[in-house]
Amino acid sequence: MKENIILAIRLTLFCALFFAGFYTLSIYGIAQLAPNQGKGEIVTVNGKNHHINVAQKFTENKYFWSRPSAVDYNAAGSGGSNKGTTNPEYLAEVKTRIDTFLLKNPTVKRSEVPSELVTASGSGLDPNISVQGAKVQANRIATVRNISEEKVLTLIKENTVAPLLGCLGTEKINVLQLNIALDKIMY
């Protein structure tokens, strides 16, 4: 029994040193070799820094809207709402989002609204939407900005990211990058 306790203490000390020390320093060292020293991809727009890999809140009609966020786009505290699909509060919230979306996008039918535009992601910080999620917003943006819908659709196509290795995942669009590109064509 005594030798088991000594072995357990040794293993605990080894694991503490390895995982809290060596492993942590190894990951930190690898991050220093990455672009921007592991701090994520940052873009500066009008003197303000934005992280490409964290969702941004866009609610103006002249921009593509991001996925809703259960944490109000606060990267310091990511998380979902944890409300189930049968929760009355959750259903009311989604219905309100759908109604708002349809009000602002009158050319879109209820059945055409992609789920990611009315439901939050698990982290509440997903920066991407699907190609369909962008296309259903094209008419609204073209109308508000007084540009052709074709120009907006071309911009969507130019900012579409293919699945990893051509088969892992789906096509996606980073909303922040798309909105930055949208602002660039206006000037």
**What are 79-106's pLDDT values in tens digits?**
777 788 888 998 999 999 999 999 999 9
What is the pLDDT at residue 82?
79
Residues with Cβ within 8 Å of 74's Cβ and at least 6 positions away in sequence, in order, are: 124
What is the pLDDT at residue 36?
74
Residue type, 159: N
Region 34-55: what's the mean pLDDT? 78
Q: Which residue has the higher pLDDT, 187 or 27?
A: 27
SS3 43: strand
Given a cut of 60, whether residue 127 has pLDDT beyond it is yes
- What's the rounded Cα separation, in Å, for the pair 162 and 166? 6
Which of 16-30, 134-148, 163-177 has the lowest average pLDDT?
Answer: 163-177
Residues with Cβ within 8 Å of 41's Cβ and at least 6 positions away in sequence, in order, are: 35, 51, 52, 53
Select from 119, 134, 116 the least CA-distant residue to 63.
134
Contact predicate 147/140, CB 8 Å: no
Query: Percent of the chain having pLDDT more than 90?
Result: 48
Torsion over CA of 92, 75, 177 and 94, rounded to 10 degrees?
0
Select from 42, 60, 61 the least CA-distant residue to 52.
42
Q: What is the pTM of this model?
A: 0.77
